[in-house]
Amino acid sequence: MKSTRINIGFCVIGLFALAACQSNTDGSLAAAKPADPQAPNVLLIVVDDLGFAELGAYGSEIPTPNLDGLANNGVKFSNFHVAPTCSPTRSMLLSGTDNHIAGLGNMFEELSPNQKGKKGYEGYLHERVAPLPAIFREAGYQTFMSGKWHLGLEADQGPLQRGFDKAFALLEGGAGHFDDMQSLFETEVGNFGKAKYRENGEMLDNLPEEFDYSTEFYVDRLLQYLQAADSEKPFFAYLAFTAPHWPLQAPPEAIARHEGRYALGYDELARQRLQRQKALGLLPANAELSERPYDAPTWDSLSEEEQRISARRMEIYAAMVDEIDRHTGRLLNYLRESGQFDNTIIVFMSDNGAEGHTLSVLFAEEHFPAARNWVYNTFAFDYDSMGGPGSYVMVGPGWGWAGAPALRGYKGATSQGGTRVPAFVHYPRLAANGRTDASLLSVKDVAPTLLELAGIAAPDGEFLGRNVEPITGESFVDVLQSKAENPARSQDRVLGVELFGKRGIRQGDWSLVHMFEPYGNNDWQLYNLRDDLAERLDLADKYPQKLAEMQGLWEEYAQENGVILPDWNSGY
């Protein structure tokens, strides 16, 4: 599948002198030919578990001026979709293909017995795809990464082996945010040891002395890589924050900035954010609040102490988002001061919807008894410890609901709240800057879009001497070039999703979802999002013909992408 090139003043960079490419002895990719120094730099910024309404530019009260500046002076997307959780999304981002093709048909941690050992369920970014950093590297780019990898634990599955020149990587899905290498799960069966980090391929026994807080350090490391880079070559950089993923932790001074802000409760916060999103044009005028999650009591029904503890969780969460913005601002200042800002394509996105689970769901006793005992017997849960090292805090379903108040569900769900996320592109050369676009877009579309903007042809069935799957995402350069929305662009597009056996299909305004209880009714549910964005009214019985049509689209998607529905799930 070849990418269409566009004329934006850059030399087109050829890809196919592949025979000259060699591998280093450590398995990483060897240096590629020089690129045009005027080619655009690329900066991918991915945050972890940020909801659709949790940036200022997307209706939040959390101060995010640096990210807001990028969003409001770039192109904001209001209908951008990802997988319901992190590693499947990241596999699509870096491959341009469906996660079931890229090797993350399910999260490695959640593989069911009937999925293990099957094609598409290897649990790492597989060699059958051409990784985006490797494509850019072969085109002459310098490639750097800092932050969360979650696309393979083994030495031959790391960032260097997928095309990065330099990388500081947390290999797992998350960790404590301070320097104690606090793990989130069992690192091996029965072993709750240190979280796993690698820098430039070397496994770390301890974090660097300058590692004080994850968000700050990931920016520091990327800045070091960029400052030492060859100024004559463009760069491809991937900044993959672990914040605001649980455990919720932040520096005390950051938490203090938000003290008292959430005493209003999540019911009122949801209402306020909904109105702001409407005013910003991110939601249609008829958008309503989605139903409060089944396990989120009304705020007024909580005791004073329960409200105090709950509000504290949200204060910590807001501090984490605030810190993302503050430290991203340092990176943006470097790009401005070094004269690279105007020639850098910046893509920002969250990897899934807002988190809304509780510890009791995450560590269900019937599925993870050892992990449950470890969490409840190891970490501090008192009010004064919350947010510090050694605490294990999750924001909970009420605040997760307020993270995307017009959308049903949250992380892990195949409904809108799990898959529709904040995302935008900033690049001064774009004609559509300053506009919000509602085109139906997928994380798979990022790869072909960046390749087109950079004038790089996508691999045509072969890359570095091996057969690879084609990129199936669709470039949205036309969206970035247009000063007006094209509703017809999204009308016939079909987007499928499946994770943990929860599944869904989108076409135009129609959404078909199938989720187990308590997230659904264990059957197909049909919604028209134009009239019912919150997915309140199931139309499956009213429109049997449309139901059958959408079910057929789902079957086509599942067959094309090798979906294997699990015979076990943890209930997440």
The C-alpha atoms of residue 16 and residue 19 are separated, in whole angstroms, by 8
Of all residues in the chain, the percent with pLDDT exceeding 90 is 86
Does position 30 have pLDDT exceeding 70, yes or no?
Answer: no
Determine, yes or no, domain membership for 34.
no
Determine, yes or no, domain membership for 559.
no
Provide the 8-state DSSP code for 235: E
Determine, yes or no, domain membership for 26.
no
Q: Which pLDDT score, from 0 to 100, does residue 301 have? A: 98
455 sits in the region (left: phi over 0; alpha: psi -120 to 50; else beta) called left
Determine, yes or no, domain membership for 202.
yes
> Which residues have a catalytic role annotated?
86, 150
Determine, yes or no, domain membership for 299.
yes
Q: Which pLDDT score, from 0 to 100, does residue 77 have? A: 98
Determine, yes or no, domain membership for 10.
no
Does position 227 have pLDDT exceeding 60, yes or no?
Answer: yes
The C-alpha atoms of residue 244 and residue 355 are separated, in whole angstroms, by 9
Strand partners, 197: 170
CATH of the domain at 427: 3.40.720.10
Section 539-553 average pLDDT: 98
What pTM, to 2 d.p., does this model score? 0.93
Determine, yes or no, domain membership for 223.
yes
User: Could you report the per-residue pLDDT of 442-452, keeping only the tens digit for each?
Assistant: 999 999 999 99
pLDDT band at 186 (very low <50, low <70, confident <90, very high): low
The C-alpha atoms of residue 19 and residue 160 are separated, in whole angstroms, by 20
- Spatial neighbors of 194 by CB under 8 A, at least 6 apart, are 181, 183, 187, 205
Greater pLDDT, 272 or 37: 272
User: Could you report the per-residue pLDDT of 374-422, keeping only the tens digit for each?
Assistant: 888 889 999 999 999 989 999 999 999 999 999 999 999 999 999 999 9
Does position 13 have pLDDT exceeding 60, yes or no?
Answer: no
**Count: domains in the chain:** 1
Determine, yes or no, domain membership for 71.
yes
Instruction: Give residue 87's domain range.
Output: 46-485
Q: Which pLDDT score, from 0 to 100, does residue 2 have? A: 32
